Chains A and B, each alone.
Chain A
Amino acid sequence: MEVLSHMFAALADPMLLLYLAAGVFLGIYIGAIPGLSVTMAVSLLISFTYAWDVLPAMAAMVGVQIGGVYGGSRSAILLNIPGAPAAVATALDGYPLAQKGEAGKAIGVTVIQSVFGGIIGALFLAIGAPLIADFALSFAPRDYFLLAVMGLMLVGSLGNESAARGVFAAALGLFVGFVGLDMVTGQQRFTFGNVYLQGGVNYVVVMIGLFGMSEALMQLRDLNIQPVKQDVGKIVPGWKNIIKYLPLSLRTSLIGVFVGALPGTGGDIAALISYDHAKRTVKNPEVPFGQGAIEGLVAPESSNNAAIGGAYIPMLTLGIPGDAVTAIVIGAMYIHGLKPGPMLMVESADVFWFIVGAVLIGNVFLLIFGFTGIKLFTKIVEVPKYILMPTIIILSVVGAYTINNSIMDIYWMIGFGILGYLMKLYKIPVAPVILGVILSSLIEQNFRRSVSMVGNSFPLFVKDLFTHPISIVLTLAILIMLFGQTSLWKKWKAKRQDNK
């Protein structure tokens, strides 16, 4: 009973409810602006929540996070520019829908799926937090490596026409991820003695350049194309629609919770793995993936919002951040005199359950606010290009600068913008590049960790893959995914269908 009263403290106090609601609302619009990220919004919030009490500060931060993760999908759908890395997968099917004039429908689906995923995340946080945290701890570096390889398998799905082009683009992304100080030896890699390159190239900068800047340049090629008239009549999807995708959203929400709960991986990787999962398991989508499949929206959107609840699991039970945003929230808790760690559930049970409740109630607000401003937003697509495109370029510059407050990042963003433009001209997909950059350090560092753990012996590393339960499951999953793409399997399957 006490738990419930802490959990729903926000409902009893209108001010707390207001902070949470304002957070969600602001988060949506901050998230929707390419380059203004949730991480940034939350770190801005910290500076001025010093003077507040703990609960309002937490309410506002949780709210912004929930709103922001959803908000990233708006610009992904309308402009093909993901507002945040977690929305990269959403653009793949969302933008084609907008091109057909169905942006309203797409946004409606993302709201429902985000809320669904968010609530699943909150439920797992409330019920199984300590258990899931222990499970997440048992993930060894080799398991992270396998998980990242699984994410990389998505290249097969992204290289639309030519597999070779997709692989090339992903390799380029992996390479960009190598720039910077070598973590293990401190060796400078591809920095050419420049101090600004020591920290590497930020993947959000790459994303803004490849999606935002290059899309604007691409569209400027033809200013006279009439924008597609958007149908905003029926936005809220019906029950039938929700139930139809329920099995998929449930599966991808679970992926979201677990990937989010792993320290070191967050909503961006959860969304990519979920998209890949959807593409492999949904046999006959009404519209093919990449051309506006609803399943292509359902999977990443339910998953990245479920990852929020997931990320709070190790944070609230162990004091270990599950992603970049919860890392900042931990800092805020210290400033407010709390001690994040295993004892938080005991010593500050009110705060623990309040946060759990805030994640849950925040999603209710998301359901309300998620449907606001859709008509206004879809109008953006209809704005004349000679106004819209320069605005996008300015936003891209601002967004690139605000990540690290570094001018260097603007140059990188412009560089990647031009690169993306050329890639699009020559029909090389840009999405695998960002996939490569996001996964690069995860793959490399965890591979090196796993091999050096067994005395730099590759055979022992391979043996490890087949002797630990989690590793076996992941390895087999990857092998099945690989085998499923070979011509041998396809032939056998075709033959079997013929026999039927």
Chain B
Amino acid sequence: MKKIISFVMAIGMTLALTACGGNGGSTTAAAGSTTAAGGTTAAGDSTAAASATDFPTKDFQGSIMWSAGGVCDTVSRAIAPYVKDALGGKTIIYTNRAGAAGGISTQYVHEQPADGYNLLFGAENPQIAKVMGTSELDYSNFIPINIFCTSIGVVIVSPDSPYQTLEALVDAMKSGTTLNMADTGPGGLPYAAAAMMTSVNGVTPNRITYDGESACVTAVMGGHADYSIVTMGSCAELTNAGKVKALALMHNATLETFPDVPAITTVYSDYDKLLPWGPFYGVLVREDTPQDVVDQLTAAFSEAAGNPEFQKILTDLGCVPCNIHGQEAIDYLDKYRSVSSWLMYDAGATEISPDSVGIPRVSE
């Protein structure tokens, strides 16, 4: 009889520990029931750091502006284990609020209290929302906490394509051949990169719009599109395996991981004035968040974003870790918005002039 009682008590204690580790958040709570691993360590962390400050006192809500499984989602979720300790052991409960090219997430987070507990995990897209007319909000309505990394575009063709160099591709289009380019719709990286090619090389492809970058890569591999310009991350492994051929990086330098792929600036030097340019991923909070809260979050996230293990994940995803924050991040976002908005306008992608929504042209 005693044995049974002690057994029941032991199970009860284990369950209690697991429950503590769960921190009551909806994501982890649902999870807590199946795992006992890690329960004790999590509980230990929260008691150690809680006394240091009165922020944070509760879990964070993170809104991710793209759907589960994409690069934005993966980067946003991957930082969680590295930032947890610096956030006093509090958990970030992630929610994907995809839609309207990030507009739904920006809208949602902007409607929440400016207390630093609502984090916006986003990509570059809102920076052209005003000229594209998709949303009233862009990152000027938020305070950047950290820009984790940037991503680089790459021009890809099928390995058995007749165009084995960028010059061959551009020359074919110049001589009047219509080439199909797989893109992801207005405002996406392929679209913007094609706009750059139009302004520098004077060539315009026939755009075929696909659901996302991996669908674009699939179309190139299957021979349904002549070329595409996608982020390095979405085709890095396929390039290594020789399933797609990378012609040039939309960047002003070559990458260590792909020494054989030339930077587009070495092929056409006119790209120098437009590059570096590419998608980025980061975390922001609503404007009007108290400065001391912003400072604490900035310290926590910059430490996590500098963690070599986290940076390894970023490199695997084809991203370039940058870990910028504070005024530097604000300036970065500002310049990005200006360059991209004018690029869209000059390429004829939108009728709304950046001037009319208060975005000045950056002087070179």
A interface residues with partner B (beta carbon < 8 Å): 22, 26, 39, 43-48, 50-52, 60, 137-141, 181, 183-186, 195-196, 198-200, 263-264, 314, 318-321, 324, 327-331, 334-335, 337, 339-344, 404-406, 445, 448-449, 452-453, 455
Contact = CB atoms under 8 A, between A and B. Distances in A.
A429 B132 CA distance: 40
Given A186-B186, A455-B206, A198 B100 contact: yes
A47 B94 CA distance: 8
7 contacts: A184-B207, A319-B238, A327-B69, A331-B73, A337-B313, A339-B236, A340-B237
B96 A183 contact: no
B222 interface: yes
B224 A453 contact: yes
Contact of A337 (B32, B135, B180, B312): B312
Interface string B253-264: 000000000000
Contacts of B312: 337
A61 to B, nearest CB: 12
B100 A337 contact: no
The 8 A-B pairs with the shortest beta carbon distances in the complex, nearest first, are A341-B237, A199-B99, A327-B69, A198-B100, A342-B241, A48-B31, A186-B186, A137-B222
Contacts, number: 166
A334 B178 contact: no
B252 to A, nearest CB: 26
Contact of A343 (B96, B135, B241): B241
Given A137-B221, A318-B243, A334-B74, A405 B97 contact: yes
A47 B28 contact: yes
Nearest to B186: A186
Interface in B40-85: 67-70, 73-74, 77-78, 80-81
A50 B80 contact: yes
Contacts of B218: 137, 263, 314, 318, 320
Interface stretch (B163-171, B208-216, B294-302, B332-340): B208-216
A321 B215 CA distance: 9
Contact of B241 (A341, A449, A453): A341
Contacts of B74: 331, 334-335
Contacts of A195: 100, 103-104, 107, 134-135
A137 B98 CA distance: 27
Interface in B290-348: 312-313, 316-317
B198 interface: no
A237 B43 CA distance: 49
Interface of B: 27-28, 30-32, 34-35, 37-38, 67-70, 73-74, 77-78, 80-81, 94-101, 103-104, 107, 132, 134-135, 178, 180, 185-187, 206-211, 214-215, 217-219, 221-225, 236-238, 240-241, 243, 312-313, 316-317, 349
Given A335-B313, A341-B238, A445-B209, A139 B69 contact: no
Contacts of A48: 27-28, 31-32, 35
A186 B97 contact: no
Nearest to B180: A453
Contact of A404 (B98, B187, B224, B240): B98
B221 to A, nearest CB: 5
Contacts of A337: 312-313, 316
Nearest to A325: B69
B114 to A, nearest CB: 20
A320 B217 contact: yes
B185 A183 contact: yes
A339 B235 CA distance: 11
Contacts of B69: 321, 324, 327-331
B97 A328 contact: no
Contacts of B135: 195
Given A43-B68, A47-B31, A48-B28, A452 B208 contact: yes
Given A44-B31, A46-B77, 9 more contacts: A39-B68, A45-B31, A264-B211, A328-B69, A404-B98, A445-B211, A453-B208, A453-B224, A453-B225
